[in-house]
Amino acid sequence: MKKLALITGGAGFIGSHLAERLIYEGYHVVALDNLSTGNRDNLIHLLNHPQFELVIGDISVEADLAPLVEQADIIFHLAAAVGVRLIVDNPLESMMTNIRGTEMVLEQARKWNKRTIVASTSEVYGKNAKVPYTEDDDLVYGNTTKTRWSYACSKAIDEFLAIAHYRECGLPVTIVRYFNTVGARQSDQYGMVLPTFVNQALCGEPITVHGEGTQRRTFTHIADTADATYRLAMNENSAGEVFNVGGSIEISIMDLARKIIERTNSSSTIQRIPYEEAFKNNGFEDMQRRVPDCSKLDKKIGYKPRYSLDNMIDSVIEYYQPVERRAALA
């Protein structure tokens, strides 16, 4: 009997890679996506696969979601507003998508008692200065006039909803907090830093660093993210828990820009842009460091990041290489 996995947001960057992994593991995969930020092209290689189906629909519409949840053996809830640029420019839509959508998915999952994985984000830690972050650290947010924190709060509410469903209703749900997942198919459209820098470098444009560039981040290869997500889903003892999924190599945004220029052999210069200019009238606020402690994940599933930062950058360069050729012909 076939096993069926439902991925909400399945046409997104992470969703499309997770679909590949699940198919490899023998699952029939249904990807539900309204294509607002997901892209059909992410799934072009799967559309004719006998174990894959793309359903265009919305998680906030019960008629779209409920029949798929009923049929599924497991649910991966990845549908969400993504990217700093989208979130800062459209905070209301982002919050409603995250909160209402997750509420609907959990309600349907509870109805049928379906194993569920809820994707969260490192953004929930806010500007807590204590790093590396462990899953039981406090979440520290700024003033409500700072739009950046609306996304973090909405994802924290998603986590509260998931944990409440586990504790009060026995729903077997696990939360994964992703830290800067990167790789092929990640769009530069919504402010994702690595594909944005790579695209700028390949086109010979100035690489735009917001603020002073001293902010420090770690990055995670999409293959490591998909692997950890799948293995947590298969581990029933992970239900009711939260796990960081991230990398171990920390780098400043300025050094990342320099490294990308080097690896693309680009003539690009680096241009610093003040936050108030980059995010006009939106009350943007950033955090200086975002570094995960993944020891809990390691203890649970034996997680070790397998890819170097150079590997990650090169995979994005390879994906965007046609842009370089178009720029050369322009």
Q: Catalytic site residues? A: 151
Compute the distance between CA of residue 83 and CA of residue 186 in angstroms, rounded to an integer: 11
Q: Is 7 left (phi over 0), alpha (psi -120 to 50) or beta?
A: beta
CA distance 233 to 21: 12
Identify the bridge partners of residue 27 per DSSP, sorted by sequence position.
3
Given a contact cutoff of 8 angstroms between Cβ atoms, the answer to whether 176 and 78 are in contact is no
Looking at the chain, which runs of residues are DSSP E strands? 3-8, 27-33, 52-56, 74-77, 115-121, 173-178, 181-182, 207-210, 216-218, 220-221, 242-245, 250-252, 270-273, 289-290
Which residues make Cβ contacts (< 8 Å) with residue 277, sequence separation at least 6? none
Alpha-carbon distance values, 153 to 50, 124, 145, 181, 193 (Å): 39, 7, 13, 20, 22
In contact, 31 and 10? CB cutoff 8 Å: yes
How many Cα neighbours within 13 Å face the side chain of 127? 12
